[in-house]
Chains A and B, each alone.
Chain A
């Protein structure tokens, strides 16, 4: 039973962590928390199922198309819901514009795809108990993403520009970094990461339109716990949340497990508003 908690806890935790990283990636260049993070995750599952099961494409091509579509959605979000409201960040209009885009995506999926959960294809047909691919695919995807991002941020020029923008927007612009292009790129990247989360977790979560708000919330929890913009904290927070949730499912079950997660989330947030692993507080005056 412990093995089962660990396997599925780590797996859903990895999905949550990826969504959290998607939040962070968008935040780093725009200072915006976008409600579309969860919807992109949902689309990762739905599009994967659409391309591979319905249209019968090979899995690898399906994956590429899914990530490309999700990246495109990220770019659309940047154009439609982020750029127009950036100049008035303190009015928090981004909460509304990204919520609107998220709802449009979700309802369109409900209308055009299905309101019932649809199957997600087995990719490698490797299913032996807790070594089932549906458990380790998300973990693999999460590990690959984290390593990829580390490489990007440390070893490449574009990545360093990302880091520069994330640390000091004004200074970076003063240095002549193409802030706008980097922001678009980060939204594309965030879309692809979210899509990968949904794709890798497709067999666990199924291709279901209502996964969006769920991932939105459960992907946000690790961000809040780990500290905004802190990817390592987010991964730890995500894995922790996944394990806690699975353990709660085992121990108290059903209704009370979601209440337990919400309660824990609110208590931790109130105790440590900057997250357990810290993010710097903004100067106010």
Chain B
């Protein structure tokens, strides 16, 4: 059965707790560990990203500690499983702030939770990095403590729209979301942006991910004359059914959209492997291989380091890389300022310029906390997954 993931996960948690209780006892402040709070939806539905991030987090912490820590201080990861529930995330955040007194927080990993905890962290001026896409989460004025090291919703949307309009040359698009909070709002925003760009949104709908038959929606999209289907959903079941329905209808319309279109879970749900062709998911330059199968050099270095330590087969490289970067960014701030004071860390991040992470090259300032470079968001060929990396979609050089 599916022991692989959970086994790893439990091992991981065990490791984190071991460092929590084992290493932290010296009395002098300067040798106290650097405590990083990690709010992860490790179990429950939509736990796949956090499981990937977690591998990167633990890997980076171990690597730093093996090298003697940061200025002699060990890194200590304090993990709380929020299960994707905003209420649990709020509790865990306050616990990290008031009880566990962490120095910085990485996460949460999905937007619903992040929306609930952002104001709480801001009140405590807690340095926070997260990978959640909702645009309003980043606002240097209201939340001077919060930074994002992954693309925003708009950046994803721009990439998808750009690809649909400019490369797939679709003039008429159908936009489909699922009925989760994310699916509904992403589909709405996406449709609005397509219209603004002058494209014709011929069909827009939200589908209950458990709906057993997607034929109605696909038929209506085809009858409306859609030339591309834009999908905003994290539900692999729904994506699998949409792709099978497309094949049944013998319709070769391209699917363009959310990174989940490339999720490995989809492969098993398809009637035939070729149903996954002409599907393009949001991807990242750092995690895309070129025609010769090579990743960018910095990423190759990461993969080499991860080899034998972190399993990449059932996750995505970008999740792992992003987890590594998050820990390194916090460590770097302590290293540079020699302090774990909240203000010191935040000030340091405000000065990040082309900081070379594995997932991206981050640049932040006092007025811009969206650290991920827009041009690094690309489209991948969804079915080309290999060790968590993808081939660039056709049309990129």
Tally A residues with Cβ within 8 Å of B.
38
A210-B212 Cα distance, complex, nearest whole Å = 13
The residue on A at minimum CB distance from B270 is A119
Interface centre among B2, B205, B215, B268 (most CB of A within 10 A): B215
A122-B206 Cα distance, complex, nearest whole Å = 28
Q: Is A113 touching B1 in the complex (CB atoms < 8 A)? A: yes
Option from B1, B45, B184 in Cβ contact (under 8 Å) with A54: B1
A127-B1 Cα distance, complex, nearest whole Å = 29
Asked if B269 CB lies within 8 Å of chain A CBs, one says yes
Binds B, one of A77-85, A226-234, A250-258, A266-274: A250-258
Q: Is B208 touching A257 in the complex (CB atoms < 8 A)? A: yes
Q: What's the least CB distance linking B80 to chain A, in Å? A: 18
Asked if A116 CB lies within 8 Å of chain B CBs, one says yes
Q: Is A4 touching B210 in the complex (CB atoms < 8 A)? A: no
Q: Is B248 touching A253 in the complex (CB atoms < 8 A)? A: no
A110-B2 Cα distance, complex, nearest whole Å = 11
Asked if A211 CB lies within 8 Å of chain B CBs, one says yes
Option from B45, B179, B248 in Cβ contact (under 8 Å) with A115: B45
Q: Is B45 touching A210 in the complex (CB atoms < 8 A)? A: yes
The residue on A at minimum CB distance from B268 is A119
Taken residue by residue from 49 to 80, chain A's Cβ proximity to chain B (1 for < 8 Å, 0 otherwise) reads as 01000100000000000000000000000000
Q: Is B213 touching A246 in the complex (CB atoms < 8 A)? A: yes
Given the known interface contacts A4-B219, A117-B240, the answer about A208 and B2 at a Cβ–Cβ threshold of 8 Å is no
Tally B residues with Cβ within 8 Å of A.
32
Interface of A is mostly: helix
The residue on B at minimum CB distance from A115 is B45
Complex interface residues of chain A between 200 and 226 (CB less than 8 A to chain B): 201, 204-206, 208, 210-211, 214
Asked if B139 CB lies within 8 Å of chain A CBs, one says no
With a cutoff of 8 Å between Cβ atoms, the chain A residues found around residue B248 in the complex are 129, 132
Q: What's the least CB distance linking B179 to chain A, in Å? A: 5
Complex interface residues of chain B between 368 and 382 (CB less than 8 A to chain A): none
Q: Is B210 touching A115 in the complex (CB atoms < 8 A)? A: no
Q: Is B217 touching A255 in the complex (CB atoms < 8 A)? A: no
Q: Is B217 touching A115 in the complex (CB atoms < 8 A)? A: no
- Given A113-B1, A118-B269, A255-B179: 9 more A-B contacts, CB < 8 Å: A5-B216, A50-B1, A113-B2, A115-B43, A117-B235, A117-B240, A249-B213, A249-B216, A254-B205
The 5 tightest CB contacts between A and B, nearest first, are: A117-B237, A8-B213, A254-B206, A204-B212, A250-B216
- 27 A-B Cβ contacts within 8 A? A1-B216, A4-B213, A4-B215, A5-B216, A8-B213, A11-B212, A50-B1, A54-B1, A110-B44, A111-B6, A113-B1, A113-B2, A114-B2, A115-B45, A116-B45, A117-B237, A117-B265, A118-B268, A119-B240, A129-B248, A206-B237, A210-B45, A211-B210, A246-B216, A249-B213, A250-B220, A257-B208
